[in-house]
A = this chain, B = another copy of it.
Amino acid sequence: MKNCTEKKSEHLNCSIRQILDRFGDKWSILIISTLGHVGKQRFNELNQQIGDISQKMLTVTLRSLEADGLISRTLYPEIPPRVEYELTDLGRSLLPHIEQLALWAEQHMETILKNREKYASQKVS
């Protein structure tokens, strides 16, 4: 890993590396975005909402998001137990940027896929 203090000019690169480190995994962004739309939600509700996440990864990702203060976890000590997850203010502050990226995807992903096909077919010839 590059030493991020070496040059002023690398501050941006360094921030990007931090973003990738934190949110470059498979589920963090998706969970934040989901909680952003539906608001408060229980473990199994999230599980179903996302659909193709394993129980393990849901647990692991929720824990790490909680550890970083991006979501809050509230346990209601009933039987059976109820646990509700919710974005914190910090987590919510990330939402607009995620939505910007999603919007960019909506606008450009079709072009990208077409480019990709064209490139692949050129490779053949």
Contact = CB atoms under 8 A, between A and B. Distances in A.
Interface of A: 1-2, 9, 11-13, 15-20, 22, 24-26, 29-30, 33-34, 37, 50-52, 66-70, 90, 93-94, 97-106, 108-109, 111-112, 115-116, 119-120
B103 A15 contact: yes
A93 B104 contact: yes
Given A19-B101, A20-B29, A97-B104, 15 more contacts: A2-B52, A9-B37, A12-B99, A13-B30, A13-B34, A15-B101, A15-B102, A16-B29, A17-B30, A20-B26, A22-B105, A24-B25, A67-B115, A70-B112, A90-B108
Contacts of A104: 19, 93-94, 97
Contacts of A24: 24-26
The majority secondary structure among interface residues of chain A is helix
A120 B52 contact: no
Contact of A112 (B90, B97, B116): B90
Nearest to A117: B67
Contacts of A70: 112
